[in-house]
Structure formats: structure tokens, C-alpha cells
Amino acid sequence: MTQLDLAVKCDLSEAMIKNIELCRSWPSEKTLSQITKALDVDVYKFFLPLAIDFEKASEIKLSVQDEVVKSLRKFVDEKLNSLELG
């Protein structure tokens, strides 16, 4: 797929796709979402090392999700505790 093909498919400019690919700019959440939808891939796959075994990608995804949930629970617990003490 060319940069122009991707740009058309996700309704972005070819220049934006080029700048992202060349690391001249970082996509916003919205832009990243448009690109992942156009490519029909999960966003987390963009952040995996290139040499990763994609069979392990599911394990990594679950591990990351677990860590996010743990962090959110800790944050909520701390906020609730601070409200109870206050």
C-alpha cells in the first residue's frame, strides 16, 4: 500500500502519512485511530518490536491490559481512601 493509498483510505493527507512514517510528527489519538481502522489492525501492534512473534502478541496485549487495570484500581483506591480520610 502506498502512502497515498493509506491517506485516501483513512481520510488524511499524504503529507501527514509521510511525516508520521518518517517520524517527523506523532499522530494524535484520532489520527492513530483512523490509520488503525484503515489498516484493520489493533493499535497496540504499532508499538510492538518488529521481530516479535505475533503468536505472543495476544499474551503481551493481555499483560498490558492487566497492568493498566492494576494501575487504575490503585489510583481509584488511593482517591477513595483520600476522600474517606478527608
**Cα 25 versus chain centre, distance:** 15
Q: Which tens digit of pLDDT belongs to each residue from 30-61?
A: 999 999 999 999 888 877 776 666 667 777 77
Q: What is the mean pLDDT of the chain?
A: 87
Q: What is the mean pLDDT of residues 13-17?
A: 96
Q: What is the pLDDT of residue 37?
A: 94
Gap between the Cα atoms of 69 and 17, Å rounded = 32
How open is the CA angle 73-74-76, to the nearest 5 degrees?
A: 65
Residue 5 vs residue 51, higher pLDDT: 5
Q: Note whether 14 and 4 are within 8 A (CB).
A: yes
Percent of the chain topping pLDDT 70: 92
* Residue 17 CB-density burial (10 A; 0-12 exposed, 13-18 middle, 19+ buried): buried
